Amino acid sequence: MTARPRAARGITREAEGPRPFRVEPGRIGLYLFLAVAAAFFILPLYVMLATSFKSLDEVRLAQIFALPHTLDISAWIAAWTSDCEPGQCFGISAGFWNSVKITVPSTAISVLLGAFVGYILSFWRPKGADTLFAIIVLAGFIPLQVFVYPVVRAFAWLNLYGTLSGIVLVHVIFSLPLTVLLFRNYYAAIPHDLFQAARIDGAGFLRIFWSLMLPMTGPMLVVAGILQFTGIWNDFLLGLVFAGRENLPMTVQLNNTVNVTFGEVRYNVNMAATLLTAAVPLAAYFVSGRWFVRGITAGAVKG
């Protein structure tokens, strides 16, 4: 057994999925495929990392694959702290806590709300449920920019414009197409009998959601959490328009660093700033692996 230790992390031992076929050529082909794929994915990251450690003179040589002559970390420092704005001199670190303050509540609320709505649409199906679902999914196909002016007016009228609660609400609203789609389709795969049985046992509307459905939603909660966290963390337009000057997210600083029209372009700082901005979602991906295990649904639903 090649990768036995993994099982220790699983919740249920019997639900381990495909048996590893021990045909050696197959395993070699498998790893070969993964290696080639990984190389394709890593290539741009390599260029970014190499560039970020170069001096500007070296960058100007335009040899993108060349390793830096020396490990020059000044671009990383400049990206994080010393990019200057009048009255403040911080680089992207200035927006870091704002991004945290926006992303954490927006992600938590939107994922839970998505699961809840998905649960209702999938199991309870009150009158008009399909119409509502159609509207929500369709909204996902409208370019966000189109919403900006009307929603700005509505939020100004509600005194929510330019506030932290305002931007969180905006994210939750515009996340609905993604989260509802994810969870409704996920629940669509869960047998209806299970739900009927719970109702016959007398479980109520909220109880079925909280004690039965939510615990079975493990992998999808992780996936939705990851996607939402990434999307909101990387959002630029909504943060720029709705958050207000006090709450501007990190991406606004990132844009000010990398999006240069007339000024001199510092590619090394741009790369470092981009990677620094991405560090938190990247860490989240890595950590989320702990929960990304097999077996929760399988055992509970069909076992």
Partner 1 sequence: MKPFLPTTLALLLASGSAFAQEIEVSNSWVSGGEVAGKQVVIDALKARGYDWVDFSIAGYENEQAAFMARVQAGDPPGAKMYIIGPAAAELAEMDMLVPIEEPLAASGAAGAIPAMVAEKMQLSGKPYYAPISVHGESWVFYSKPVMAEIGYDEMPSDWDGFFAMLDAAKEAGYIPVAFSGQAWQTNKVFNQILLSLLGREAYSAMLSEADEEIVMSDAFLQAVDIFDRLHGYVGEGTAGMNWNDATAQVIRDEALLQFQGDWAKGEFLAADEAAGEDYGCAVNPGMGDMLVVVDSFAFPRKEGLQDAQYALAEVLLDPEVQRQFNLLKGSFPVRTDVDMSAFDICAQIGSQKMAEGAIAADMNLVLDRVVNGQIVDLINEFWAAPYDHEDFRADYLDALTY
Partner 2 sequence: MKTSPRNGPPRFRHWPAALALSPVWAIALLLFVGTAGYTVYLSFTASRMMPVNEFVGFEHYIKLFGTRRWNTSLANMGILCVTYVLGCLVLGFLLAAALDRKVRFENTLRTIFLYPQAVSFVVTGLVWQWLMNPGLGIQAAVQGWGWESFTFDWTQHRGTAIYAVAIAGLWQGAGLTMILLLAGLRGIDHSLWQAARVEGIPLWRTYVSVILPELTPAIATAATLLFMGIVRTYDLIVAMTNGGPGSATELPAKFIMDNLFDRMNIGAATAGASVMLISVMAVIVPVLYIRALRKGGRKPV
Rule CB under 8 A: which of 138-197 touch partner 2? 138-151, 154, 173, 176-178, 181-182, 184-186, 188-189, 192, 196
The interface with partner 1 within residues 264-303 (CB under 8 A) comprises 264-265
Q: Which stretch binds partner 1 (CB under 8 A): 28-36, 55-63, 272-280, 295-303?
A: 55-63
Q: 23 burial class (0-12, 13-18, 19+ CB within 10 angstroms)? A: exposed
Whole-angstrom distance, CA of residue 103 vs CA of residue 249: 9
Per CB under 8 A, does 271 bind partner 2? yes
Among 157, 200, 262, 263, binds partner 2 (CB under 8 A): 200
- Closer CB to partner 1, residue 11 or residue 89? 89
Task: Compute, in degrees rounded to 10, the torsion defined by CA atoms 196, 202, 204, 205.
Answer: 10
Per CB under 8 A, does 211 bind partner 2? no
**Closest CB 87 distance from partner 2, rounded Å:** 25
Residue 74 makes CB contacts below 8 A (sequence gap 6+) with 55
47 interacts with, out of partner 2, partner 1, none, CB within 5 to 8 A per kind: partner 2
**Closest CB 228 distance from partner 1, rounded Å:** 23
- Closer CB to partner 1, residue 99 or residue 217? 99
Per CB under 8 A, does 252 bind partner 1? yes
The interface with partner 1 within residues 56-115 (CB under 8 A) comprises 56-57, 60-62, 81, 84-88, 90, 93-94, 96-97
- Closer CB to partner 2, residue 54 or residue 87? 54
Among 11, 28, 42, 84, binds partner 2 (CB under 8 A): 42
**Closest CB 29 distance from partner 2, rounded Å:** 10
Q: What angle do CA 293, 294, 295 make, to 5 degrees?
A: 130
DSSP state letter for 201: T
Whole-angstrom distance, CA of residue 275 vs CA of residue 287: 18
Whole-angstrom distance, CA of residue 79 vs CA of residue 93: 8
Q: Which stretch binds partner 2 (CB under 8 A): 76-84, 94-102, 103-111, 204-212?
A: 204-212
Q: Collapsing DSSP states into helix, strand and coil, what is residue 85?
A: strand
Whole-angstrom distance, CA of residue 52 vs CA of residue 71: 9
CB 51 within 8 A of CB 45: no
CB 256 within 8 A of CB 84: no
Distances (CA, A) of 103 to 29, 87, 111, 144: 40, 26, 12, 18
Binding site for partner 1 (CB under 8 A): 56-57, 60-62, 81, 84-88, 90, 93-94, 96-97, 145, 148-149, 152-153, 155-156, 161-162, 236-237, 240-242, 245, 252, 255-265
